[in-house]
A and B are shown apart, each in its own frame.
Chain A
Amino acid sequence: MSGMPGKKAKRIEERGLKGIRDTGLDEARLRAFLAHAWHTPKGLYGWLATVDHKLIGKRYVVTAFLFLILAGLSALAMRFQLAAPEAGRISPDFYNQLFTMHGTTMMFLFAVPVMEAFTVYLVPLMIGTRNVAFPRLNAFSYWIYVSGGTMIWIAFAFNTGADAGWFSYVPLAGPDYGIGKRPDFWAQMVTYTEVSALAVAVEIIATVFKLRAPGMTLDRIPLYVWSVLVTAFVILFAMPAVMVSSTMLILDRLVGTKFFDPAAGGDALLWQHLFWFFGHPEVYIIFIPATGFVSAILPTFVRRPVFGYLGIVLSLIAIGFLSFGLWVHHMFATGLPQLGESFFTASSMMIAIPSGIQIFCWIATIWGGRPIFATPLVFVLGFIFTFVIGGMTGVMVASVPLDLQVHDTYFVVAHFHYVLVGGAVFPLLGAVYYWFPKVTGRMLSERLGHWNFWFVFLGFNLTFFPMHILGLQGMPRRIYTYPLESGWGSANLFISLSSLVLFAGFALLFLNMLLSLRNGRPAGDNPWGASTLEWATTSPPPSYNFPHLPVVTHREPLWARPDTLPVIEGLRVDAREVLGGTVADAVPQLRLPSADNSIWPLLSAIAVGGTFFASIYTPWAVVWGAIPISIGFICWFWPKGEPEDEE
């Protein structure tokens, strides 16, 4: 009792100092306050505890690219084996692990996370706010992702790499035919990394809906942000399906349930339905943000706004919806009733309409503009060139009878690489060139950039185009060797050699990044003369993103007012605060505290990861693991500090 008055006095005194707003502060003091409030401590602790979306985003990108390298090396190894018929360079067992790790890593550990990485980095900057809605969740999702990915690759190093294909069909991956612990690692890693995808999705939806700069009404949201918003909803509805199915798989394997065992009343096809109900949208989870890159890059380099904003937004939403009506086209060969087949043929074909509309709008944009052939634009052009091929072969595999010949052959391998590499990786590389100056403050070399493009572009097309023909000539996929008499030898040798060119193209990208990081030309705030908000702040952006929160009055804010952006005032600068607004019109509503750095997201991720890992060996891990997980979460969410003063 006796201590109370003193404490209370101190509180009141602190209050007096608290609540400093940005109103009327001079620029230097404002920046000093903000830098202090949004500061990430130096050293290891700061590195582990940061909740800055830019640091986390960068980390995500680097990690995703490391997984890309691992997956690429697996692919090269496969091409090494397939370069000659009946080659004995790689054993069948190892080969099966290689293509499984390749597919799993590319899909779960590279393509989806790299798209999320860009989202996490860019969205707050593009919508004019200081951080994502749930910064600690953001940190947590990164730690989950990196540990899940590391886990399955360490397993691979110990010859426990997944080997039942990235789709892990049962019964092959089930308790009776799955080899050792391999499918267990696969299943747990999938469930685990999808936790992180879901967390990012929730993150993005909340951030885009609530934290947009004042005046950024729905029809002023940059198209890239629209694309990741649609993606987030697709993730939200698709990912649970694969988490449920991989959990059912691990239960079948470890606890002895019989979900997929036909002999005990289970159903092997159930796995395929669940897996593809996720697996098809998965492709769009990768593709939709890539179209967002295109819509962001294109206007900057043709010097005019994208043609058909509304048409593109509606197409994005349509693609999001339609992506859920297509999963059965992965299962045509299982033999479904004719009526069902016709429905899925029609809906698969229909998705070509919104995709086509987007392509037409982009071409119209170029038609009405004055293209400058900088590297990002060149990658976008390469994207249109290749993606249309993937789209057309997509129409082919949507036809049931046609699919019955090409399904599970190299034709399909060619098709989906045209969609994934042509449709997503090309725009992604364009995006790397486009935003690298913003992130690092330095330009990438344009000269190396063009070399990079041509190697990747030619390498890619020479590697994958001949696969269409091989598939039609009867070469099945997922085979580690083929007979000499098949006549597939020379095409395969050609493909393997071309894959080296493609590989060299990626090496040029990494070389360019490394060189430019040290010696690149300084970028300045807005080197491309672009129109969206991320270019309104310095390169690289300060920890608080914007010293003054911008107000948006136009769809192309920096083109409408090249001199000065209007700003809003009234936020606290001595503590982390962001501005929340209405969903539709982004009318400022309230000031929201934004979470401070914390080590607990990391510790919670370790607890969750350890539990998942141990559960591969004993189901009891789930029981014991609940204890550290609860401790982690309680500390993470423990309220501290004073309640926000009402105003």
Chain B
Amino acid sequence: MIIREELCTGCLDCLPYCPMSAIVHDEATGLAKIVEDECVECGVCYRARVCATDAVFPQPLEWPRTLRMEFSDPSSPYLSPVFEHRTIARFQRDLRGMDRRRLLDREGEELTISGRGTIEMKMNDVMGRYKRGQAGVAAEIGRPGVGARFRDVEKVARALTTAGVKFEPDNPLTDLMTDVRTGALLPEILNEKVLSCIIEFTVPLASLPRVLSALRDVSSQIDTVFAVDLISVVEEDGSVPTVPVVEAMGLTPSIAGKTNVGLGRPLAPLD
């Protein structure tokens, strides 16, 4: 995203809209300016339509900067060649062919929010993706609202492989790895910054302490934050088997979160 200097009046109304605080007041010109390296191409400043002179402008993106938009704008389709195999539905192909300005103009029913993770536990009642005796874990690097460089994403991924983690193949981050055994990412993307990027995997319940310890250790080595998610099938008596495991580590599961309420049919086997 850029601000066209010839159109900017210096009102600075756009500044607070940027989730990354990447729009700054250029003291030399008195105008608003986007710090390109900090901009994650989320499109908020453009969609906000707060600029009276339409100075905020979505410039064409080239690889690997395309990743910024793909991971930061929930309405973006996959544009980068590395995600070619993910362009499976007609509407995704249509979106891919749309110029970026029209893409960012879409609203309401025309919008397709495809997400940058998987559907995780949302359909677990009918898919049985998470079984009894397993825990689903996600580390959402950069969330909430801090943003992350892929070099930090790689640090977390590498740390997880030492704990024996196998990455979720349906997560787009896995497409950016040069070696899923080490968590190494494509070298040319490491400085790219995104609003957030999700690392997802499933582990046996017995391995959960080792994996969470690895996450805790690497958390002090990165220049951002990450949100941690913990998925579990609920036992017949209503208990959640992951809770005592993490409490024994001194962690406190949230009092609120998501519950799949078991209305999907037919139910999938969980054992």
Q: Do A and B come from one complex?
A: no
Task: List residues of chain B with CB under 8 Å of any chain A CB.
Answer: none
